[in-house]
Chains A and B, each alone.
Chain A
């Protein structure tokens, strides 16, 4: 197991001398743990600490580089535990026993497979040249192989023949596969002299282990292990056991990438070879050598590899752009969707089935699905407009019909405004319905209707300059007058410095149809009703999510802030939208009596500038400890945390105004990561930092009756870890009572028999 940053921190001098070039010992240790800095950079680390750390921080399995490709470096046996890091590579094997015609045919066949799949070049990365006992021929074939610009594996156990081959192509840094129990000293000398990676062979695991250990004693750790045995069964056992011994049993002698040579095991049976290549792609082959790689084998194998080696926590994305389907030309209509790979495959598959020529437009939505991207502001009329400009869609496509996903129907008007020359029509909610929709020509009819209803060009709306400074007076004039209505509850005055747990009520959210409708019409009643409920139930803050609000964000937020604060004794608010101008406008009219405004939210990636926004407006900011996708572990969470903390501090913010969100994860699906989240909260607390988060996300998809139980249990555990706030549904009585009880035990509130009524 790799050592954690905080474990290193315990051994560090903790003097924050900055001599290593990093502001704090904590930050330095985090960087050491990630491998970004060597421990020796610290002049004050004791020798014992360095020795201990270099042993402990060494990865259980080395990453070895051949031909610019990294092999191995894995840390887990199964991808869901964390992720696989370096995809396996495929080799085609040639033999000195083959004649020139056969060799040339194999090379031509191998070279023909070269294509792109979701941003990755798929081709045969290695050529393995097996020596059947002819050194001159070996050298000759190696030369031929090196000329194909593939990395070469010299497969010989003869020292003399290896010498000849290395003399021919040593400068291309091939892999010398290699060493065995009898020749390892001589092979080692050759490999070291040529500066190439050495492959190790053995009759069984014990022999392999001994030979690797002997080579390590000679100070060679630039190795790979050839796990190919006499039978398929033995080879599979070797591959699994070598990996497991290194990762699970901590025996680093087996901590090297592996070679599986299928050419040895299934001579001639190309189908069997494909089956085994799939098995060893799943289970621990780093290089899989085959006799045959045609498109028939490559298409499924490379697809499988690409799937298995994706990071489970990072969505697989496709490149934004125009994808013509069914031979679509610029005269055919466009269908738009997001770049989440699964969405792309589903939509493009159904489009293909429809046989209707369509230009599929893929926009950058950070690999999220349509609804998630929309809610996060990553799939908006603004981002779509930007995509159309950047990719010059109007210049490349003549047809003006644009089908948008049914789930994004709400954006239709905004998109139409931003792309006035297009006829925006709403497609189906599910991809499967597309076939019928297109075959029936629904999109054509809809587009005609849109075109017919368009007003003459001179009535087009004035173009809004997004970068222009806000005219607050104009905004204030444009919103409806605020009326104070007696809702039967009032917000109690609050001390912003109280240690009490801060609940942020989440019920005013535009994803709720009632609220969305109310916001569209600036209709106060449904919003006041939800606010009153939450305040009555004891919410400290109210979150106000107005959605992407691209067209009228500043007006809408100004209205919402005034409406809520004037009605409820200046209830403190969290302003929740991707529209920065809206937040700025909201803060402008915000009353701070009961607490600063909260900007919801910033992250360490594309939304980091919301920290600047909070700093400029003396607001609190919720800082999501993620960049693109969920952090894979607490090292990464803390790295994001420190990154954002540094930024906030450098802009003059108080550390207590950054509330770090570890991102609560769904227990259904990410059960094994729950303790990580709780431990992250402890790390924030240990550093004196405040924390918050969408706690109820944990119980998403769980039965209604179970959710309060999960939520309240988690809040108690999280408060024990030091959580200082959460975004919750205050109408959940069980949860609110649990929070109040925890505040009693934490001595934040003085106990009385009626503490629950406070």
Chain B
């Protein structure tokens, strides 16, 4: 008798979460099988890619490929408009790095105005990524959530220390989607989802960010946490882990030695841009293979490649 593979299907399903409004709204999550396991069941929604833009504007474009793509853009809003045309991009992620009180310390008002200008310039769903400072992020997210009310944005992210304020503000008062961020630990991830839903935030309004790392930099923890979250969500039907997962990739990968070492210092390594692109691609591909439902990336060539890869696999 000829070989027929057994199917591995689950009764449980990852939540579907819609980001944005109108024609360009995207749905993430929804699948009831492991990543790209199309032979077990059809994948409900292919993983999505967001384009990371920072408040630094054109100054963030350190690589020739990025400079060329965004050529002629004067403002972050211009760049967002351009990013909409990027092959494989589904949403925009505005990363407010400069809000960090230990860095440039840009004011909340300035950040809100910037977020508004980006939202006005693009029809794509918008994700707002903070500066990792707990107090500043809390204020930023709630103010931006208020200003962009009705746009169905995602704020990235609430953490153990500020989930109450962000859940109550961005989540409940302004009806936006809320990211739940934990540091590469499945138990913390579940705990945060539990307390956030106890607060009244709808489970369907939560997207997890379980943490990330560049390939080679402790990535095994990320891979195993992703594996375990998906396993618990699907095989144990754990409703507190069925939120889809979004993983910011570029913020990590463009900071490691392999991507920042100039070719002049390391001639045998070759082109710095190629190294940065491949580091971003490899990390994103690995994160997606382990079950992330969306990734946030930066370089146009890396995004094109990962989008094509997703296209091949689903």
Kindly state whether residue A80 has any CB partner on chain B within 8 Å. yes
Kindly state whether residue B8 has any CB partner on chain A within 8 Å. yes
Kindly state whether residue B149 has any CB partner on chain A within 8 Å. no
| A278 and B8 within 8 A (CB) | no
| A279 and B285 within 8 A (CB) | yes
Chain B residues within 8 Å of A319, by CB: none
| A312 and B220 within 8 A (CB) | yes
| A669 and B187 within 8 A (CB) | yes
Kindly state whether residue A504 has any CB partner on chain B within 8 Å. no
What's the Cα separation between A117 and B290 when bound, in Å? 24
Q: Which residue of B lies closest to A309 (CB)?
A: B220
What's the Cα separation between A345 and B217 when bound, in Å? 7
| B309 and A276 within 8 A (CB) | yes
| B275 and A342 within 8 A (CB) | no
Q: Which residue of A lies closest to B284 (CB)?
A: A275
CB of A612 to closest CB in B, whole Å: 37
| B224 and A275 within 8 A (CB) | no
Chain B residues within 8 Å of A303, by CB: 214-217, 219, 258
Q: Which residue of B lies closest to A80 (CB)?
A: B224
CB of A85 to closest CB in B, whole Å: 14
Kindly state whether residue A249 has any CB partner on chain B within 8 Å. yes
- The A/B interface has a contact count, at CB < 8 Å, of 168
Q: Which of B34-42, B69-77, B111-119 contacts A (4 or more CB under 8 A)?
A: B34-42
Supposing A78-B227, A240-B39, A296-B278 touch, asked if A279 and B309 sit within 8 A by C-beta, the answer is yes
| A282 and B39 within 8 A (CB) | no
Kindly state whether residue B23 has any CB partner on chain A within 8 Å. no
Kindly state whether residue B306 has any CB partner on chain A within 8 Å. yes
Chain B residues within 8 Å of A659, by CB: none
CB of A397 to closest CB in B, whole Å: 24
Chain B residues within 8 Å of A750, by CB: none
Chain B residues within 8 Å of A281, by CB: 286
Q: Which of B91-99, B163-171, B264-272 contacts A (4 or more CB under 8 A)?
A: B264-272
Supposing A249-B6, A275-B305, A668-B187 touch, asked if A304 and B228 sit within 8 A by C-beta, the answer is no
Chain A residues within 8 Å of B302, by CB: 271
Number of residues from A at the complex interface, CB < 8 A: 57
Kindly state whether residue B2 has any CB partner on chain A within 8 Å. yes
Chain B residues within 8 Å of A272, by CB: 305, 308-309
CB of B219 to closest CB in A, whole Å: 4
Kindly state whether residue A352 has any CB partner on chain B within 8 Å. yes
| A112 and B220 within 8 A (CB) | no
| A296 and B219 within 8 A (CB) | no
Supposing A80-B224, A299-B278, A300-B216 touch, asked if A233 and B305 sit within 8 A by C-beta, the answer is no
* CB-CB contacts below 8 Å: B29-48 with A: 36-39
Chain B residues within 8 Å of A117, by CB: 216
CB of A245 to closest CB in B, whole Å: 6
Kindly state whether residue B160 has any CB partner on chain A within 8 Å. no
What's the Cα separation between A654 and B295 when bound, in Å? 60
Chain A residues within 8 Å of B283, by CB: 278, 300, 304
Kindly state whether residue B4 has any CB partner on chain A within 8 Å. yes
Kindly state whether residue B84 has any CB partner on chain A within 8 Å. no
Supposing A232-B313, A241-B5, A271-B281 touch, asked if A79 and B224 sit within 8 A by C-beta, the answer is yes
Kindly state whether residue B257 has any CB partner on chain A within 8 Å. yes
CB of A163 to closest CB in B, whole Å: 30
* CB-CB contacts below 8 Å: A231-265 with B: 231-233, 236-237, 240-241, 244-245, 248-249, 253
Q: Mark B175-189, 1 if CB is under 8 A from A, else 0.
A: 000000000011100
Q: Mark A500-536, 1 if CB is under 8 A from B, else 0.
A: 0000000000000000000000000000000000000
Kindly state whether residue A301 has any CB partner on chain B within 8 Å. yes
Chain B residues within 8 Å of A271, by CB: 277-278, 281, 301-302, 304-305
* CB-CB contacts below 8 Å: A292-346 with B: 294-297, 299-304, 306-308, 310, 312, 341-342, 345
Q: Which of A231, A278, A312, A342 contacts B215 (CB 8 A)?
A: A278
Q: Which of A30-38, A64-72, A205-213 contacts B (4 or more CB under 8 A)?
A: A205-213
What's the Cα separation between A283 and B289 when bound, in Å? 7
What's the Cα separation between A349 and B256 when bound, in Å? 8
| A299 and B289 within 8 A (CB) | no
Kindly state whether residue B282 has any CB partner on chain A within 8 Å. yes
| A304 and B286 within 8 A (CB) | yes
| A282 and B312 within 8 A (CB) | no
What's the Cα separation between A80 and B231 when bound, in Å? 11
CB of A295 to closest CB in B, whole Å: 4
Tell which of A208, A248, A300, A304 has the most Cβ of chain B within 10 Å: A300
What's the Cα separation between A278 and B284 when bound, in Å? 9
Kindly state whether residue A274 has any CB partner on chain B within 8 Å. yes
| A79 and B223 within 8 A (CB) | yes
Q: Which residue of A lies closest to B260 (CB)?
A: A352
CB of B134 to closest CB in A, whole Å: 15
Q: Which residue of A lies closest to B255 (CB)?
A: A349
Kindly state whether residue B274 has any CB partner on chain A within 8 Å. yes
Kindly state whether residue B64 has any CB partner on chain A within 8 Å. no
| B289 and A282 within 8 A (CB) | yes
Chain B residues within 8 Å of A296, by CB: 269-271, 274-275, 277-278
Q: Which residue of A lies closest to B227 (CB)?
A: A78
Chain A residues within 8 Å of B305, by CB: 269, 271-272, 274-275
Kindly state whether residue B218 has any CB partner on chain A within 8 Å. yes
Q: Sample 27 A-B pairs with CB under 8 A, ordered by A number.
A: A79-B220, A80-B228, A117-B216, A205-B3, A205-B5, A210-B2, A232-B313, A233-B38, A236-B36, A236-B313, A240-B37, A245-B5, A269-B305, A271-B304, A275-B281, A279-B288, A282-B286, A295-B270, A296-B275, A300-B279, A303-B219, A304-B219, A304-B282, A307-B219, A310-B220, A312-B224, A671-B187
Q: Which residues of B contact A (CB under 8 A)?
A: 2-6, 8, 36-39, 185-187, 214-220, 223-224, 227-228, 231, 256-258, 268-271, 274-275, 277-279, 281-286, 288-290, 301-302, 304-306, 308-309, 312-314
Q: What 7 pairs between A and B have smallest CB-CB spacing?
A: A303-B216, A209-B3, A300-B282, A304-B215, A278-B285, A232-B312, A296-B274
